[in-house]
Amino acid sequence: MGIKKKWGQVLLLAILALIFCTSSPASLRAETVNPSASEAPAADSVFASSPSYYTGKVTIIFSEGENTDPGFSEKYQRVNVRLNNGPDAGKDEMVEYSTTISTFEQQKLSVGDTVIVAPDTVGGSGYVILDKLRIPGVLVGLAAFFLLAILFGGIRGITSLFGLAASLGILAYGVIPAIIAGHDALTVSVIGAFSIAVISILLAHGVNKRSGISLGATLVTLIAAVAFSMIAVVLAKLSGSGTEEAVFLQIGSLPSINLQGLLLGGMIIGTLGVLDDVTTAQVAAVEEIGIADSSLTRKELYKRGLRVGREHIASLVNTLALAYAGASFPLFLLFAVNGGPPLWVVLNAEYVMEEVVRAIVGGASLVIAVPISTFAAAWYYGKKALICLQTSSPTIF
């Protein structure tokens, strides 16, 4: 009966997530307030102007060479591509594929490679190669990840995958369409983050007391994260236009979008990704401590749980900083380039400060999540005695 009840809860939450994800886009599309999206100027590239995309297989490498125009040089290959689909399926096309000299060895084509092609709208006939087809290789890695999650996580691994699917569904079918429809990016992102927290935590960890406490702590910390991010963005004087992607959005399909709100929304959703780990781990640790020694008062349980939390803070802050540093690794190379602006000017650039502020907001949210989740768990699992923090030297961390 316990297993049936658990799977019944999972099924109910999955249905709720499906209803949320599938019902949102229809209403949002009906009230789209940004008609300029369809009027965006076409970019001078085959990506924007090609009506269709197809796949093909490289069957012959005819030649390789190098173009050395003044101020620019590249290497190219002339290859034969047999189209897999489209109006010319089965037909062979000779196509020239070029890339920069520095990346040629990593990007060059080999016989048997599958590529993405599109009609050549610049030359007027034939096809151009846009990129290698990477999806099949990534799907293999994704399948391995799913297998490991199920193999070592058991039922929790399966439910965590349901939670992951629900989170992605809310982003793809709720948050993104709402922002495109013209709604405030920050407001939509906060609502989406709260929705993701509720559905993903309950799906991944089940509907139980531990999940309820973790969820409450996560939502309280999210509110704090919103405040942290807003204060940090104002103090750092960020506009949200520090990346090329943001600029392309504003000058292209979404000229009226609030880039600062988009930046804030991204910080909130990014922070949520690690809050789940902190809050659920802390609540579980406090619960297990309470089970091991049921005589502990709430105050004692809080103190012991916080000792575990301090170790969690030390490792997670370092992990978060390294994650942001790894994502921005080219920036470190930029710092080392000789002959450029002074280091303090480079550091002051908005695209650098955006990453710094992301790390600060994420780290601060993780730190505050530990005492919040520990307090909530200790209050519930400890003996019926109030936590007294009015000591001679009160500590939170």
* Domain-embedded: residue 266: yes
Say whether both 235 and 304 belong to one domain.
yes
Of the pLDDT bands very low, low, confident and very high (cuts 50, 70, 90), residue 234 is: very high
- Does residue 57 sit in the same domain as residue 191? no
Give the confidence band of 28 by pLDDT, cuts at 50, 70, 90: very low
**The pLDDT of residue 350:** 86
Let me know whether 96 and 190 are in one domain: no
* 5: pLDDT strictly greater than 80: no
Q: How confident is the model at residue 80 (pLDDT cuts 50, 70, 90)?
A: very high
The Cα–Cα gap between 87 and 346 comes to 50
Q: What is the rounded CA–CA span in Å between residue 365 and residue 317?
A: 10
Given this model, what pLDDT does residue 99 score?
83
Q: Would residue 56 count as lying in a domain?
A: yes
Whether 56 and 178 share a structural domain = no
Tokens representing 87 are 């109006």
- Looking at the structure, tell me whether residues 195 and 329 fall in a common domain: yes
> Do 115 and 172 fall within a single domain?
no
The mean of the pLDDT values for the chain is 79
The verdict on residue 327 lying in a domain is yes
What is the Cα–Cα distance from 227 to 250, expressed in whole angstroms? 26
Answer for the pair 112, 58: CB distance below 8 angstroms, yes or no. yes
Characterise 384 by phi-psi region: left (phi > 0), alpha (psi -120 to 50), beta (else).
beta
**Is 243 inside any structural domain?**
yes
Of residues 36 and 364, more confidence is placed in 364
Of 66, 96, 120, the residue at which a domain comes to its end is 120
Q: 3-class SS at 90?
A: coil
DSSP per-residue codes, 277-343:
HHHHHHHHHHHHHHHH-TT--HHHHHHHHHHHHHHHHHHHHHHHHHHHHHHTHHHHHHHH-TTSS-H
Per-residue pLDDT at 193: 93
Residues 112 and 180 in one domain: no
CA nearest to 261, candidates 177, 189, 185, 188: 185
Q: Return the CATH number at 82.
A: 2.40.50
Lowest mean pLDDT among 149-163, 237-251, 262-276: 237-251
Residue 43 has pLDDT above 50, yes or no: no
Q: Confirm whether 81 is domain-assigned.
A: yes
How much of the chain exceeds pLDDT 90, in percent? 32
pLDDT value at position 241?
83
User: Does 191 lie in the same domain as 67?
Assistant: no
Q: What is the mean pLDDT of residues 275-295?
A: 88
Q: What is the mean pLDDT of residues 311-317?
A: 78
For residue 254, the 8-state DSSP code is -
Q: What ranges make up the beta strands (E) of the chain?
A: 54-69, 72-83, 92-100, 114-119, 127-132
- Alpha-carbon span 178 to 20, nearest angstrom: 13
CATH code of the domain covering residue 162: 1.20.1640
The answer to whether residues 221 and 360 belong to one domain is yes
Residues 97 and 234 in one domain: no
* pLDDT score, position 155: 87
Count of structural domains within the chain: 2
Q: In terms of pTM, does the model score above 0.85?
A: no
37 domain-assigned: no
Look up residue 278 and give its amino acid: V
Whether 190 has a pLDDT exceeding 70, the answer reads yes
pLDDT number for residue 338: 57
**Domain-located, residue 397:** no
Average pLDDT rounded to a whole number, residues 239-262: 81
Which of 60, 93, 120 terminates a domain? The answer is 120
Q: Which of 58-62, 270-274, 297-301 has the highest mean pLDDT?
A: 58-62
Is the pLDDT score of 315 beyond 70? yes
Residue at which a domain ends, from 120, 138, 165: 120
Q: Is residue 274 part of a domain?
A: yes
Q: Give the model's pLDDT for residue 387.
A: 39
Residues 270 and 348 in one domain: yes
| pLDDT in the model for residue 392 | 38
> 164 and 90 in one domain?
no
Give the domain extent around 90: 51-120
350-396 per-position pLDDT tens digit: 888 888 898 889 889 989 999 999 999 999 988 643 334 334 344 43
Q: Which residues contact 104 (CB under 8 A, 6 or more apart)?
A: 75
Is 45's pLDDT higher than 70?
no
